[in-house]
Amino acid sequence: MYQILANSWNGLTNGNGHINSAFRNITISHIADEYVNAYTVVLRKIGFNEQQLVFFTDYRSPKVSQISSHNRLTVCGYNPATQIQLIFKGVATIHYRDEVAQHNWKVEGYKGQKSYLAKPAPSTAIEQPDDGLSYLASPQSNGDTPDGYENFAVVVIDVKQMEYLKLSPTGNRRAQFTLQPSGAWQGTWLIP
């Protein structure tokens, strides 16, 4: 069954370090204020050895303060081609204006960097749907965007548990793997 664990992590990428398109857009959920929050993000990086999932966000987004208060995240993805659902549970760390943010800012590239130039901040109520989007026409949008870096945050999730579910007409298979204090994963089959 431990092959499933390795295959699941490997299946998040195409084997070349690029995220498999099925898992590129994943659902994040965590405790927020009045309701549990759930939203889609682009999965940027994974690490089997590091056991981490990484996404980028705007530091000013409400989700950042929510994660700061409730850093236990659940991540859900589904690959329709293989009919495999993966659910990860872990503890998030927000990187802002540190080495991790600096490194990933370059990875983001000019095209993505401009997303962090919005004024006012994400989730601010506006009168017209395109209010606050004038930054898209700013000269900075076509090159390095130092102001964007001021809003750029990297969320790193240290995964503590992973659940695998494969749908099959001959019998669904479900397994759960929990990270032990020793660093080893302990797996068990579950009734699907």
Ligand X SMILES: Cc1cc2nc3c(=O)[nH]c(=O)nc-3n(C[C@H](O)[C@H](O)[C@H](O)COP(=O)(O)O)c2cc1C
Q: Map residues 55-84 to x or -, x wherever contact with ligand X holds by CB under 6 A.
A: xxxx--xxx---------------------
Three-state SS string across 75-139, please? EEEEECCCCEEEEEEEEEEEEECCHHHHHHHHHHHHHHHHHHHCCCCCCCCCCCCCCCCHHHHCH
Place of tokens 């397994």: 175
Check residue 105 for interaction with ligand X (CB under 6 A): no
Cβ 139 to ligand X, closest distance in Å?
Answer: 24
Which C-beta is closer to ligand X: that of 64 or that of 87? 64
Contacts 24+ apart (CB under 8 A), 184-188: 185/2, 185/5, 187/1, 187/2, 187/4, 187/5
Which of the residues 106 through 165 are near ligand X (CB under 6 A)?
Answer: 122-123
CB atoms within 10 A of CB 90: 21
Between 42 and 136, name the residue whose CB sits nearer to ligand X.
42
Part of the chain binding ligand X (CB under 6 A), chosen from 51-59, 77-85, 87-95, 156-164: 51-59
Nearer to ligand X by Cβ, of 71 and 178: the residue is 71
User: 142 — phi, psi (to 5°)?
Assistant: -100, 5
Shortest distance (Å) from residue 4 CB to ligand X: 27
Q: How far is the CB of 67 from ligand X (least distance, A)?
A: 9
Interface residue list for ligand X (CB under 6 A): 25, 39-42, 55-58, 61-63, 122-123
